[in-house]
Amino acid sequence: KQEVTQIPAALSVPEGENLVLNCSFTDSAIYNLQWFRQDPGKGLTSLLLIQSSQREQTSGRLNASLDKSSGRSTLYIAASQPGDSATYLCAADQAGTALIFGKGTTLSVSS
Amino acid sequence: DTAVSQTPKYLVTQMGNDKSIKCEQNLGHDTMYWYKQDSKKFLKIMFSYNNKELIINETVPNRFSPKSPDKAHLNLHINSLELGDSAVYFCASSRYQGYEQYFGPGTRLTVT
C-alpha cells in the first residue's frame, strides 16, 4: 500500500532563502505526483504536477523534481517570501484513480 | 467563474442527523472525488467517480453515500452522523483519471 512521507514537518526560514521540501513514496508505480499549497482554513491550490515519465516541472520560483526509482520528489522554492508561508502537500496518484497524500510541511517565512 | 464549488462551507449538526454536501465543477471534467481532512490535517480519499460511475470506494462506513446526478455534480450524503465524522470534506475534479486534480474550498462539518 502506497505511503507518502514529507520531511520536515515544519520549517522556518528568513525571507530570501532558497529551500527544499522533501517527499518520499513507497511504491514507485505512480501515475503522477502533484504538489499543493494549503493556506489555513482554505482549500488546496495545485502548484505543480509531474507525470511519471517526467523528471521535473517548473513554475515561476518553484521547481519540482521526481525520481521514481528512489521514490522521491523535491519541491524547490527560490528566494522565499512571507507570502509563501503555508502548508505544502505532496500527493502521489496511484493508478490514476486517487491521490495519496503526505502529511505536509508547514513553511513559515519571516520578513 | 468558480471552478469547483461546494455548499455549504460550514455545517454544524447534532449526532444522529442526516446531512448532504453538494459539489459542482464547471470545468467539464469527467472525474470527481471526495476527500476527508481529519483534525490532524491528514487528507484521505473517500470516493472517486468517473463519468458518473463509482471507481473507488475506500474503507468508508456505508453511512456515507455519494451520488452523481451528472458529470458536473458529486454530492455526499451522510446518514446517522457521529462525532468522529467531524472533519473538513473536500471535493475535487480532474479532466480524466490520472490528470491534475482541482480542489473545492472544503466544507467544515462539526457534529455535536
B105 contacts A43? CB cut-off 8 A: yes
Kindly tell me if the per-residue pLDDT of B41 is higher than 90: no
| Block residue for cell numbers 532563502 | A17
- Looking at residue A89, its pLDDT comes to 98
Question: What whole-number distance in Å separates Cα of residue A94 and Cα of residue B40?
Answer: 23
Kindly tell me if the per-residue pLDDT of B59 is higher than 80: no
> Per-residue b/e over A13-22, b at no fewer than 16 CB within 10 Å?
beeeeebebe
Question: What whole-number distance in Å separates Cα of residue B50 and Cα of residue B52?
Answer: 5
Find, in chain A, the residue whose alpha carbon is nearest to that of B31: A97
Give the model confidence (pLDDT) of A53-77 as tens digits. Answer: 999 999 999 999 999 999 999 999 9
Q: Which of A33, A32, A25 is nearest to A69 (CA)?
A: A25
CB-based contacts of A50, cutoff 8 Å, min separation 6: A32, A33, A34, A56, A57, A64, A65, A66, A73
Question: What whole-number distance in Å separates Cα of residue A46 and Cα of residue A92?
Answer: 13
Give the model confidence (pLDDT) of A21-41 as tens digits. Answer: 999 999 988 989 999 999 988
**CA distances for B98 relative to A93, B9, B62, angstroms:** 7, 27, 26
CA of A34, closest CA in chain B: separation in Å? 7
CA of B33, closest CA in chain A: separation in Å? 8
Assigned C-alpha cell, B53: 460511475
B45 contacts A100? CB cut-off 8 A: yes
